[in-house]
A and B are shown apart, each in its own frame.
Chain A
């Protein structure tokens, strides 16, 4: 058995990292396209799958990319592109990466993107809104996964050294707080996806109040009146009490997420130096959350403008991804002594390719 070497001795492949970053960026664009599909109510504008009105996906005439078809078809094309990028990334990792866990993350990413494609197709063929909801939520997790792969292939990850005061209570608190805040963000995203995939339009038309009150009425008579008076061009489903409660829960969830992210930043501010990368990224995280609250308010004020609603989805994805990256970084930097050995073990794994391939130890 070869002797393990320090993580810092592993050699990063900048091109692999760049390709992973490019794949992550393409995934964000794909999420934006998917957001536009839902925002424009175009999820079923192309009734067949995997074909498009009988044409192959890649040969559907541009002259027919009209109305809702434009959003759905470009989303499918972008999905195919991200699928190809993920396949290349997974293959590149499998062939060149010495860390077994990272190779398998690549495989997981490929399985994830294939699953996403199938879910998207089944949503169209089976006409199930619930599948659309799972498709939307899984897209966020896939984006986080690709971002983590990009982080793990970076020079920063390989060079990152555990903090000097390892395993102190403050760092443990920070780790847990960042993880908890990230999980809250995920919950908030799922709530948002549940709202959007109801296809019922704006359940509460004002902000920060709700129908002019702190907590809205949800009785049948009131909702019947709202539905009757609601100005709409698209034939949306009638708003129900569940829709209103879902919207209010999402609003409350935003407050909880903002508090959790602010709390994480505050702990970092007290525990870490001003130049520490995690402290700076947590501040950026808080800034993104502020932007997201603004976008949510603007979505309500503009009666759910499709572009603003989609921007709200995109920023939500960025917040989740940043949370995932920060959680990984926090555990990388502040892992408790026993688990730090285990965390490092993946980087100190016995090299599998003997001739200096990427991730191989560099002998001093």
Chain B
């Protein structure tokens, strides 16, 4: 009898965990259609960049795996969150410049969360962040352009307002660019190489979930779908390539 009580209590506790800690939204983003071939990048403008690669480097507009999974898609809750107060985490994600490329190519951060921007290359870079790059208007996030002439130099910056997306570029090496989604809540993810994603700790409720791919959607909204979270939920997206 005591074991049954313990089992019952444990089951009840597990059942309430999503209500206490939120549920997961997991899924996959696939590309429909054939993307244009990536372009090979000529790095001869800075010999130090070319020397860091032993095979050709290409653009990363469409990273599609053999099953059609599309990487570098920002998936996030667009609307439906009743709670507005999500304090930013104290950890600082890293945006690195490695081999004269940004790593990662697409990332998500919180408003007012510090981003560590690092130069891991033996050459100069400038970090040029351009808010409103896709839409020419909108957020009050401030553009900045800073020098990083020294290897292993780290600069910390943050953005005050949510935005999809802020563009980072290097004007010294014009093929270098990255995109950072800024959110005022923690419910976002970037798809992996196979197109999969997981957003953890989502409170129970009805939401609009959006999948945004920079090259496909540009200045326009991504693909949206309604989702009800009452326990772990699944959401798949198909992004049509024109």
Contacts and interface: CB of A to CB of B under 8 A. Distances in A.
A235 B41 CA distance: 13
Contacts of A41: 171, 174
A47 B134 CA distance: 22
A46 B172 CA distance: 8
A62 interface: no
Interface stretch (A14-22, A65-73, A189-197): A65-73
Contacts of A231: 36, 39
B13 interface: no
Interface in B109-137: 123-124, 126, 128, 133-134, 136
A293 B111 CA distance: 49
Given A40-B174, A41-B174, A69-B124, A238 B36 contact: no
B14 interface: no
Interface string B164-205: 000101011111010000000000000000000000000000
A48 B127 CA distance: 12
Nearest to B240: A228
B175 A234 contact: yes
A64 interface: yes
A29 B133 CA distance: 32
A232 to B, nearest CB: 8
9 contacts: A53-B124, A64-B124, A67-B173, A70-B45, A72-B171, A224-B218, A232-B39, A238-B219, A240-B219
Q: Which of A40, A66, A231 has the most CB of B within 10 A?
A: A66
Q: Tell me which of B128, B217, B242 has the highest count of chain A C-beta atoms within 10 A of its own C-beta.
A: B242
Interface string B47-83: 1110000000001000000000000000000000000
Interface stretch (B15-23, B89-97, B140-148, B225-233): B140-148
Interface in A16-63: 40-48, 53-54
Interface residues of A, number: 34
A229 interface: yes
Nearest to A237: B133
B172 A67 contact: yes
A263 B175 CA distance: 45
Nearest to B134: A238
Contacts of A240: 136, 219
A270 interface: no
B46 interface: yes
B162 to A, nearest CB: 20
A211 B242 CA distance: 16
A241 B41 CA distance: 29
A284 interface: no
B241 interface: yes
Contacts of A72: 171
Nearest to B45: A67
Contact of A54 (B123, B143, B147, B177): B147
Contacts of A238: 134, 218-219
B174 A66 contact: no
Contacts of B172: 42, 45, 66-69
Contact of A67 (B136, B167, B174, B216): B174
A42 B171 contact: yes
Which of B41, B48, B220: most chain A CB closer than 10 A? B220
A227 to B, nearest CB: 5
B169 A228 contact: no
Contacts of B171: 41-45, 68, 72
A240 B135 CA distance: 9
B149 interface: yes
Contacts of A68: 45, 171-174
